[in-house]
Amino acid sequence: MKPYTTIEQVSDGVRYLPLQLQGAEQDGLAVLLRGRRLLACRIPKMQTTGSAWQVILDFDPDMSLELTSSSTVAQGWDEFGTINVEVLSKGGVESTSEWGNLDLQEDLDVVRIEIVRWQGDGLIVDSGIRLHFADGQTFSAVASDVPGALLLTMPGEVAPAFWQFPAGEYTFVAIE
């Protein structure tokens, strides 16, 4: 995927940096994930949940999502991080990195998917994705203030007070 997001013009001069999605349509992503069980969350061993450049979410039985972030200059010198989601078939992850599995509990069945969106100063940015599970827990991957990096909130953890911007400035838009 592109290391930047193409800026779209929406009504009244507001600019929009959308989620980049490959391997599915946006409305099809909810259909694809709803009811699937999250089996593993992997990141390259040299990365952490506080600063990950590549995240692989493995679902049953044969599908994975790759999450990355793009950093785009949208106004002045300010860069804005957006979320990239690629649907992969099993074994579709190509990397020279050594992977580490993050701890997950069992029975993480997806019931709802949301885009984590920031809006301000004539700009709308799809900054991340959040998965809701049947047991009430969530997982999120949101662009941080480090260009190209994602901050992960694992199930059972409290969401941070700050991603790229204060957490209270974000909205959560359901993907139906």
62-84 confidence digits (pLDDT tens): 889 999 999 988 777 788 999 99
pLDDT digit string, tens, across residues 13-60: 888 999 999 988 888 899 999 999 999 999 998 999 999 999 999 997
pLDDT digit string, tens, across residues 83-142: 999 998 765 555 556 777 887 888 899 999 999 999 988 899 999 999 999 999 999 999
* Domain layout of the chain by residue ranges: 8-171
Average pLDDT over residues 156-170: 92
Burial of 60 (0-12, 13-18, 19+ CB in 10 A): exposed
- What residues are paired with 168 via a beta bridge? none
pLDDT of residue 90: 65
pLDDT of residue 95: 57
Centre a 10 Å sphere on the Cβ of residue 79 and count the other Cβ atoms it contains. 17
CA angle 129, 18, 146 (to 5 degrees): 65
pLDDT of residue 21: 93
- The DSSP code for 159 is P
pLDDT digit string, tens, across residues 141-150: 999 999 899 9
Residues 6+ apart with CB under 8 A from 33: 59, 65, 110, 113, 131
In whole angstroms, give the CA distance from residue 26 to residue 175: 7
In whole angstroms, give the CA distance from residue 17 to residue 162: 20
In whole angstroms, give the CA distance from residue 87 to residue 63: 7
pTM reported for the whole predicted model: 0.91
Q: Decide if 63 contacts 90 (C-beta within 8 A).
A: yes
Is 160's pLDDT higher than 60? yes
pLDDT of residue 25: 87
